[in-house]
Amino acid sequence: MAVVTSEAGARQFTEVILDSVADGVFTVDRDWRITSFNRAAERITGVPRADAIGKPCWEVFRASICETHCALKRTLDTGREVVNQQVFIIDTKGQRVPISVSTALLRDTGGTLLGGVESFRDLSEVEELRRQLEGSYTCEDMVGRSPSMHRLFDLVPVVAASDTTVLIEGESGTGKELVARAIHAQSRRRDRTFVAVNCGALPDTLLESELFGYKAGAFTDARRDKPGRFALADGGTLFLDEVGDVSPAMQAKLLRVLQERAFEPLGGVHPVRTDVRVIAATNRNLEELMRQGSFRQDLFYRLNVIRLRLPALRERREDIPLLVEHFVAKHNTLRHRSIEGVAVAAMSCLMSHDFPGNVRELENAIEHAFVLCSGGVIEPQHLPPSLVGARHECPACAGTRTDLRQLEATFLSDLLRRHRGNRAAAARELGVHPSTVFRKIRALGIHLPRYHVTHDA
């Protein structure tokens, strides 16, 4: 709690001290008008002290929490201080500045409440370092820190350097098109068109005209030539999604294009040459379909030159917090919102869900939360009911107290059991030093069966 006196000399002395502080500091009276504004506050906000004094604080200090979750108001209402809450302000240039704020009550020597004091620290450099660190966890629009995703990130530029046909396998919602776009974006074809076709969404007749186009007069309503996707993607990349759903007749036509690099539009009589890199994707087991006789063996081997597998989200749960942060930032930008993040209880619900819809389901859950959450942080009640129902055994939502320490302990225990107590292997998956894992085990009081615990790789 800060204490002030009425003597002018003491006030001047205080101003000198505050001007020497690197953090921005301002005080308000009981009517929310600014009574002092130090030099760092001028620098961070871009507002001169003379313009700030006497004005309502919300006109000067334009923070993301001013309208709905003002930290200083909470302190004046409850008497409880706020410490290092991360928000952002908009400076006089209209730029977003990340900061952390702390608040306290302001009383005179007799204990009478005069107003409040708020200090704030510019986190722009910290934010930039965080973005640089996150760069090692991203590849184009893909996000992940798990070993399986890092292996995929390492493969993308290698695969992109060639024109080889690629087959991407993975469940629906894992981001197969993102991988295809990342390969295209890092290839020599990046300045040409990327064209995507969902083969499973169209019947054969429509799919054929969609892929190969048609000539005028090819059928009743064909009044003019229409180029197909192979023609539109010439020089670029064609992404054939859900290729496992294509009929045997259509498979034969795709095989011919891959073999001869030419196709015939519907109603055409001459083959058209094409320079297209084909990336195919499927959520089905093509080898099993091949054994059943529903997928051509020769087409499978034409597609399966390089095979990439995208893991399901339940196989890389350590990526969930990173993905959540990514989606919150994305939807804050898209919707011009200022949601601060996800509460620990809500994160516990997300971590305990199996996500049969994978990353797509996770983003939909965050989008759902944005609709219901008016500001501050996303709580369990903002998530879709399917994520917080009793059948998902979300302890936070079932009434059991779950804090960050418990969540961290649960996650680390599961990780160590998965690696049979091998701290070095667990550390590699987390991207930290083994000594960090050892300290966490002791700090969190984690007890594993004796036969599980090993000390080296």
Q: What is the pLDDT of residues 360-396, one digit of tens each?
A: 999 999 999 999 998 788 999 999 988 876 444 455 4
Query: Whole-angstrom Cα distance, residue 284 to residue 240?
Result: 14
Q: Give the pLDDT mean for 137-148.
A: 77
Q: Is 22 helix (H, G, I), strand (E, B) or coil?
A: coil
Cα–Cα distance measured from residue 286 to residue 309, given in angstroms and rounded to the nearest whole number? 13
Number of C-beta neighbours around residue 269 at 10 A: 7
Alpha carbon 40 to its chain's center: 33
The Cα 236–Cα 214 span in angstroms is 20
Reported as a single tens digit per residue, the pLDDT across 325-344 is 889 988 888 887 878 888 87
Report how far apart the first and last C-alpha atoms of the chain are (Å, whole number): 51
Mean pLDDT of the region 8-14: 61
Q: How distant, in Å, are the alpha carbons of 44, 56, 80, 164, 173 from that of 77?
A: 27, 17, 8, 65, 46
Res. 294: pLDDT tops 70 = yes
CB-side exposure of 370: number of CA atoms within 13 Å? 20
**pLDDT tens digits, residue range 419-439?**
778 888 777 766 567 777 787
- pLDDT of residue 10 exceeding 60, the answer is no
**In the structure, what pLDDT confidence band is assigned to residue 398 with cuts at 50, 70 and 90?**
very low
Q: Which helix (H) or strand (E) holds 282?
A: strand 277-282
- Averaged pLDDT for residues 395-413: 58
Burial class (CB in 10 A: 0-12, 13-18, 19+), 45: buried
- What pLDDT digit, counting tens, does each position of 26-42 carry? 999 988 899 999 999 99
Pairing of strands 194-198, 306-309: unpaired
Beta strands in 283-366 (DSSP E): 306-309, 341-342
- Encode pLDDT of 180-220 as tens digits: 999 999 999 999 999 999 998 888 878 988 999 887 766 66
Q: Going by DSSP bridges, is the β-strand pair 113-122/96-108 parallel, antiparallel, or unpaired?
A: antiparallel
* C-alpha 227 chain-centroid distance: 36
Task: Look at domain 2-123 and name its CATH class.
Answer: alpha beta
| DSSP element (H, E) containing 240 | strand 237-241
Does the pLDDT at position 454 exceed 50?
no
428 against 18, higher pLDDT? 18
Q: Are strands 262-263 and 194-198 parallel, antiparallel or unpaired?
A: unpaired
Burial (CB count <10 Å: 0-12, 13-18, 19+), residue 2: middle
Amino acid at 149: M
CA distance 231 to 273: 9
Q: Residue range 59-84: average pLDDT?
A: 80
State both tokens at 252. 């034969």
Fold of 136-311: Rossmann fold (3.40.50)
pLDDT for 392 = 43
Tokens encoding 141: 């629009």
Domain ranges of the chain: 2-123, 136-311, 314-402, 406-452
pLDDT at 399 over 50: no
The DSSP symbol for 220 reads T
β-strand pairing of 166-169 with 306-309: parallel
Q: What number does CATH give the domain 314-402?
A: 1.10.8.60
456 against 243, higher pLDDT:
243
Burial of 79 (0-12, 13-18, 19+ CB in 10 A): exposed
Return the residue matching tokens 């309502």: 56
Task: Considering only the C-alpha atoms of the chain, give the largest distance between any 2 of them, rounded to a whole number of Å.
Answer: 98
Q: Quickly state the pLDDT bin for 296 (edges 50, 70, 90).
A: very high
CA 21 vs CA 25, 51, 141: distances in Å: 8, 20, 40
Residues in the chain: 457
The whole-angstrom separation of Cα 82 and Cα 102 is: 5
Amino acid at position 24, single letter: G
Answer whether 211's CB lies under 8 Å from 228's CB.
Answer: yes
> In angstroms, rounded to a whole number, what is the distance separating the alpha carbons of residues 455 and 457?
7
* pTM of the predicted model as reported, rounded to 2 decimal places: 0.63
Strands 2-4 and 96-108: parallel
Q: Check residue 243 and give its pLDDT.
A: 95
Q: Which of 39, 106, 43, 37 is nearest to 72 (CA)?
A: 106
Asked if the model's pLDDT at residue 129 lies above 60, the reply is: no
Q: How far apart are CA 425 and CA 198, in angstroms?
A: 39
